[in-house]
Structure 1
Amino acid sequence: MKKIITLVVFAFLIVNCTNEPLSTDIQTEAKQSNSSTSATAKGTYSECDPISINIMAGQFTNAGKILVENDATNLYVTYSALTNWYFSELHLFVGPYANVPIKNGNPIPGQFPYNKSFNPLIQSYTFTIPLSSIILDDNRCLFIAAHSSMKNIVNGNVVRTETGWAGDIKFPGKNWATYFKYCLRNCETPPPVTNCDTAYMFGNNTFIGLEISEKWGWATYYDNVADGTYNYNLYAGAGQNNINNGYLAGTVTIVIQGSSVKVTINATHPGTVFTETHVYLSDDRPATAAPGLYGNQHTLNNSTTDSYDLTYSGDGSFWIIIHAAVCTTD
C-alpha cells in the first residue's frame, strides 16, 4: 500500500512540473481581476479620450495597452493587460528624453522614477502624476517610457514570462526598448481616437528577405539608377508586408542628381502626422532594421512633411530605407 501511494505522489509531481505553477496568491488575484474592468473607460480622468498605445511583450506579442490622458492637474498613465496576461512589475518614466536613465543607448527601467511591484499579480494599474512635477517642452509635450514585467497565465499556469514596452520610437541601444511622445490636451468635448503606427516606404526588398529582421518593412535597392524624380507610397501598420493589413499614410519623393539625394516625406492620409522619421542611405546593403541605427533621424512635433538632403558615392547604385512614426486621428 505504501509503494502505491508513493508512486501516485511521484506521478502527480511529474505532471505538475511541466509548467510553472501559480502561487495561491496569484490565483486569487487572477479571479478578482477577471471580475473587474481591466481598461480605463472613456474620459475616466478627463474630458479627453485616452491615447492608446499597444504593450508588446517579448517584442512581437500584443499583451495590453498603455492609456494616457490628463486633466488640468495630473497626468494619468494606465497599464491594462489583455486576457490571460498579468503584471508583476511596472516602471515608468515621463518627461524630457534627455532625462531618461540610459546606458549605452539602452534605458534602465530600475532607475525610472515611478515603479510598482505586485504580489498578487494584477491586470490594470494607473499612475497619477502631478503635472507640476513633469518637465514639459515649449509645446507642453513629454516623452513616456513604459516598461513592464508580464506573465501569460493559462489554466492557472504561467506559460510565458516576458518584458513589455510600449511605443513606436526605439531607443538607440541594442535592445528593442521603445518609448512614445505625448502632448498635454485641453478637451471640452472628447476628440476622435488617435492611433500611432510604424510606417515604411514600399520597396523592392523586405526585411525578412534580407534576413535583417523578423518584422515587416521594406528597403529599396537602386542599380545604375538615372538622375530623376521617383515617387513611392508610405504604408503604416502593414504587418507581414501586406499593405492590406495597414493603410496608405503618405508618399515619399526621391530626387537623384549625381551624388545628391533629396528625400521628401509627406503625410497624405487625413489626420496623419509624423512624430519621427529615419532614413538609411548607403552603398552598402543594410545590416539592421532598427530605425535608430539608420544614421539620419528627425524628431518632429506632429508634422505633415519632412525632408532630408543626403549624398552617396554617385555611382548610381545604393540602398535606401524610409521609416516614419505616424499618428492618425480618425
Structure 2
Amino acid sequence: MDNFEDFPANGGGQLPPGQLGEVIKVGGDWFAQFTFPLSDFADFDDNCLYIAPWAIFKGNGGEHWAGDMTAGNENHPWRYFTFCIQECEPLVEEPVEICESAYMYSDDDSTLNSVYPRPANWGWYLEYDVNTAQESYPLYAGAGQNEISKGTHVGNVIIHYNPDYSVYAEIVMLGDYELRGQHTFVGDALPTGKRPGPGQYTNSGDMNEDGKVVIIVHADVCWEE
C-alpha cells in the first residue's frame, strides 16, 4: 500500500490475510508470490510502501506475520514493514594507479639475464653503433621474462650521440603514461661482475671514441586504469 490507511483492515482493526495476495503451490512446496508494480504507486508517502506479509507454516508451525511494526489491537495484532525507495548517486569507481619498471627494447637476443644470470630479472641492453643505429627504440613496461607480449609499450627512447662523444637517452612517453624516474647506463662495455641495479648505472659516454657504446635505459612508469 502507498498509504497505511489503504490496508483493508476491518472495523475491529484486524487485517484479513485472505485479502493479501494469492498463494501458489508448485512442486509440493508452498510459497506466497506478490507483485508490486511501482507504477501503481505514484503518490506513495515519502517514497515508501507499506507491506504486510503473512504465512502459514507446516507442521503446526502456526500463522505468522512478518515485519518490524505492529498494528491491529491487543487481541488480534498484525505486523508490517516499510519499503522505501531512495535516489542514490551513481557508483563511480576510482581509477587505480599502476606502476611498473620499464626497459628500452633492442632485440630478443640482447637480454640482461643472458649476461647476468643472477638476479634473473628481465631487461635488455643495446649495442649502439652511431653509423648504423636506428632513430628510436620502444620502451616496454612490465615485460616479465623479456616477453614484450606481456608488457605495455609506454614510450620510445631517442639516443643522442654528441660530437664530444657523450651520449644520453631521451624518453618520449605515449598517451597518459607518466615517467616517474629514469636510469641510463652508457659505456664501452657492460659492467663486469655482478649486475648493477638501475640506481647504480653510470654514463661514461664513448670513452674510446669509436662510435660504439653499450646502453641500458630503465624507467619507472605509472598510469591509471
Question: Normalized against structure 2, the TM-score is what?
Answer: 0.51
Counterparts of 1:311 and 1:210, CA distance in 2? 21
Q: How does 1:114-153 map to 2 (within 5 A)?
A: none
Match of 1:198 in 2: 101
Alpha-carbon contact 1:194-1:327 (below 8 Å) kept: yes
Amino acid at match of 1:211: Y
Aligned partner of 1:163 in structure 2 is: none
Q: How many angstroms does 1:192 deviate by?
A: 1.2
In 1, Cα distance between the equivalents of 2:220 and 2:135? 22
CA shift in 2, pair 1:264/1:203, >3 Å: same
Q: Could you say which residue in structure 2 is the equivalent of 1:208?
A: 113
Change (3 A) 1:227 1:273: same
Equivalent positions of 1:61-76 (< 5 A) are none
| 1:236 aligns to 2:141 (yes or no) | yes
CA distance in 2, matches of 1:245, 1:261: 30
**The one of 284, 300, 318 aligned to 2:213:** 318
CA distance in 1, matches of 2:149, 2:134: 27
State the superposition RMSD in angstroms: 2.2
For 1:202 and 1:228, locate their aligned partners in 2 and report how far apart those are by CA, in whole Å.
Answer: 13
- 1:210 CA displacement: 1.1
CA distance in 1, matches of 2:218, 2:212: 20
Cα distance between partner residues in 2 of 1:311 and 1:211: 22
On the 8 A contact 1:201/1:234 being kept in 2, the answer is yes
Q: More strand per residue: 1 or 2?
A: 1
Tell me the equivalent position of 1:266: 172
TM-score (norm 1): 0.36
Q: Quote the Cα distance in structure 1 between the aligned partners of 2:182 and 2:168.
A: 14
User: 1:279 is matched by which residue type in structure 2?
Assistant: T
The question of whether the paired residues in 2 share the 8 Å contact of 1:228 and 1:255 is answered with no
- Aligned equivalent of 1:294: 201
| Shift of residue 246, structure 1, vs aligned partner | 1.0
Q: How much identity, in percent, do the aligned residues show?
A: 35
User: Relative to structure 1, is the Cα distance of residues 203 and 227 closer, same or farther in structure 2, using a 3 angstrom cutoff?
Assistant: closer
Contact 1:229 1:256 in 2 (8 A): no
- Give the structure with higher Rg (CA): 2
Provide the aligned length of Structure 1 versus Structure 2.
Answer: 127
